[in-house]
Amino acid sequence: MPMKRFAGWSLASPATLAVVIFLVLPVLATIITTFLTPAGPLAPYLGFFGSGFRRTVLWRTIQISLITTVIALFVGFITAYVVSRSPGWLKSILIIAAVFPLLTGVVVRSFAWMIILGKNGILNGALVGSGIIAEPMTMLYTQGAVIVAMVYLFVPLMVLTLVGVLESIPDDLIQASASLGAKPMATFTQVILPLAVPGLIVGAVLVFTGSFTAYATPQLLGGESQMVMGTLMYQQAMVTFDWVSASTIAAIMVVITIAIVLLMTRMAKRLNPMAI
């Protein structure tokens, strides 16, 4: 047993060392620099939360990320359930269709949504042409545009996360639940959903962290009027060259991300103590 444990640590140590050197240490160095300012260790954070504009940006980022996560959970779960219950040949086609958007870059997909949502775009053209609206609506550079594009970006990750979990649920459990008189909704809430909690939590964490730290999509579809933490950090670092403010924003994003992950894990344990 000790030899097996030593072999396991030996195999994992190179990857662990790489993560510590290239991820953990840079993040720690970034956070530490925010406490070494001449004005005091908490001055950057007091300045951040003392600014109404920056508080608004933080709240907007959290709001967009949470809405994106909820919608992606709903759409991804339904899609993954249909895929997991489909025949073999159809399942392969559906998985390919779900993964296909991931084969193109984030910037390309964001530009595609600019073409769709622009004043002279496809959606406005269709609405005006059909007589539903008299003149083009403003869809770009709104919070809704950012959320729609974010959902499109991250639903494939949610589907891929949930398909494997839902496939592992035996059909016998569902049939046994029906044979015992449970209605479809009761089977879903008492059998399928609790067993899918691990996949839901992993998918929610992936979507939330991706949405919370996104830069390209909010910048292209939201612009300055819908600035989020990622675009604010870029502005502070690359436009005003205020590295302390950029590091402060990065530290706040790390803390909030960790807090949300812990909260989701706690919620998962309450929903299903055996899930995590």
pLDDT of residue 6: 61
> What whole-number distance in Å separates Cα of residue 228 and Cα of residue 219?
8
pLDDT of residue 221: 92
Mean of the per-residue pLDDT values for the chain?
86
Q: Which fold has domain 53-271?
A: MetI-like fold (1.10.3720)
Averaged pLDDT for residues 221-231: 90
Higher-confidence position of 135 and 4 = 135
Cα dihedral sign, 264-270-271-274: positive
Averaged pLDDT for residues 82-102: 85
Predicted TM-score (pTM) of this structure? 0.87
Q: How confident is the model at residue 2 (pLDDT cuts 50, 70, 90)?
A: low
Is pLDDT above 80 for 270?
A: no
Per the listing, tokens 């992950």 go with 261
How many Cβ atoms from other residues are within 10 Å of residue 255's Cβ?
11
Averaged pLDDT for residues 119-128: 87
Q: How confident is the model at residue 149 (pLDDT cuts 50, 70, 90)?
A: very high
Question: Which among 63-67, 93-97, 171-175 has the top mean pLDDT?
Answer: 63-67
Give backbone dihedrals phi and psi of 22, rounded to 5 degrees, phi first. -95, -10
Residue 225, C-beta contacts closer than 8 angstroms, at least 6 positions apart = 141, 142
100 burial type by CB count under 10 A (0-12 exposed, 13-18 middle, 19+ buried): exposed
> What whole-number distance in Å separates Cα of residue 251 and Cα of residue 34?
8
> What whole-number distance in Å separates Cα of residue 108 and Cα of residue 120?
19
pLDDT of residue 275: 46
The domain segmentation of the chain, as residue ranges, is: 53-271
